[in-house]
Amino acid sequence: MPSHAMKLFALNLSQQRRLERLAHDAGRSAADAFRFVLRDGFEFCEWEARESRAADEDTRRRGAVPDDEAKRRARQVIDAAHGRRSTRKAA
């Protein structure tokens, strides 16, 4: 058998339903979701999909911070942790 040949997998009915639900929740096809399930397992993939939806909801509710603003805030936190004051003026 060539090394690039695809292996066949059989899922029981419960696993098939779980894969379909995961694919729907992740906004992917079942085939795409299955690749990640094979690599990472159902539990991790389901957790990741939940976290992604929660982050999307949080962004929708609170809004996003522009990249430059996020960098400025991160620099302030780092400088404060090291007891320094920022030498650059805010734009």
Please give the residue range of the domain that contains residue 41. 13-64
9-53: per-residue pLDDT in tens? 889 999 999 999 999 999 999 999 999 999 999 999 999 999 999
Neighbours of 18 (CB within 10 A): 17
Q: Is residue 76 domain-resident?
A: no
CA 46/CA 26 separation, integer angstroms: 9
Query: Is residue 48 one of the residues assigned to a domain?
Result: yes
Number of folded domains that form the chain: 1
| Residue 88 maps to a domain | no
Specify the range with the lowest mean pLDDT, choosing from 3-12, 23-32, 50-59, 71-80.
3-12
* Burial label, 23 (beta-carbon count in 10 A; 0-12, 13-18, 19+): buried
- Predicted structure pTM score: 0.65
CA-CA distance, 44 to 39, in Å (whole number)?
A: 10
pLDDT value at position 1?
Answer: 46
Q: Confidence band (pLDDT; 50, 70, 90) for 86?
A: low
